[in-house]
Structure 1
């Protein structure tokens, strides 16, 4: 039961985010159901020979797309829809290009796709200095502002100065991130992957506020959040952003936007953006009544879940205790086997640090494993400096090549020169990844001396 109580905040987040997503999806899907006004039949866009050649050689344009309500999202059939999708479809009719969406799930991932050449363009990025380093932006074809989203019950935010000394949650590589870090160093920025995670941090009071595009912010249920004022002077035009090495594509898109019929653009924006206004806050008594019903429902639901969870938790605890007992037995057996081997054996990780050794290794180097645990050969005293450097270099080279090593050699130890048979092999984890080196040696000289004594 204690575990379940501690998990309540996390479960509340999951349920809240699921409800927010369903509300967002249903609202956007209803808008998508409205048919787009038919386009007037026009002649193909007039392009020069170089642009026509580029289209012939590159008929498919990969668009890095992140779901952004009203602008770009997937409907209930998994098909892309929204204002930007309709604009791309119209440009496709005008130019003959085919726009293929490749989905990303965060601003950081979307930018990485463009930087790595996995996509040619995108439709939902605001312009800033960082993005201008590797992207070119088309003519603007609309725009919107940024708004503060804070906690319900707090004073409404209206300026960046109110956030000084407080935590502001933003998706990584947000359009305003660099500017805020530069102009408002007193604001503590916490970056997350998505806008949904940023809202969740504000709602759970781990952050004081976040900043979102004003067009889609009212599509989400208010919950424990409230929308503040617009950021003064932060109007962001809508652009098509293209990789800088695709200059012909940018020229084609600009020509298409210039030739885009103004009445059709107005019709599209009216279809998707009409009616997106802040909803009126419910009265105090209405909210109290709603909270009463919700509290009863939540208490009953959590009571049932607690019974199921406790039963499931007890089963998992029993299984884990059995698994731990089996694992301890295996480890004890493994240790006994290693210590029973008369020759020195060691295990080193990918950095050359000692992970495990047997009793013979400790005895031949006249030390204890506790003193050597986590050390490299160059950090320990049992070998002279030259020998330690040589052996450490061989270990790192073997980790790089992944080849086993079996060799007769003479090696200088701290107590003198020895003739040994030295072996080492790379070992791998269950996932097939290299984990380190397993090795050891046989003191050939000592064995020969023992054999001679026995023969004598």
Structure 2
């Protein structure tokens, strides 16, 4: 009986010993499994984050590529527009220039370069004070300031000095141009040479003065009248013919000054001249008051 109990105790002791020995192994194995599971979850989480980052990077790169493409397209369109504007300015026969707010030349066309006798390198970035006498530069700057103050186009008559230093009468047309915020960023100007026109005007005024002197001092009756027989011009000799002053005669008609039969004859001749558009030489006799006059 004692042997049986002893055997049982030995077996229990062996089982308990095995359990004590296996328990740490089991715990270690459980921890290894849990660590492996956590590692797998971490790897899965890390892979997800990496995939999301790669996806976000791809989206960003795609958006950047799209933005770059749009910008290049816009730049191409802008360059095309600028090329058109430059070509348009170049073919304008009048000198054209444009400046910034500080009066520095940003560009010009061939006509302006020829007028100044300078190249682009000698013009761009310069101001009027670098290219002419101070008194003329002061006038140009003052009118530029007027444009920026009013923000309206300005047209005025002035003069320039050409490449030989000769004075040329011109008309300036200046107008502001604006930036994307609506602020005046500079101005553009067009120069029209009116030197020959001014010379022609002076010659015409001289011719008119000489003609007026001839008409005034001529001993011949000289007059001008319209289709209704109304006097528009008469010289002193003509006024004396009717015994009136020039002021009293101008605006009067034949019917107010001549007998009816003479008036009708004159109106008939006026109609004839308008029809054939050629000079007519006639000889007449009329009575003014008690005098008979032949002409």
Give me the TM-score of the superposition, normalised by structure 2.
0.47
Greater share of helix residues, 1 or 2?
2
Greater share of strand residues, 1 or 2?
1
Larger radius of gyration: 2
Give me the TM-score of the superposition, normalised by structure 1.
0.31
Task: Answer 1 or 2: higher relative contact order, Cα 8 Å, separation at least 6.
Answer: 1
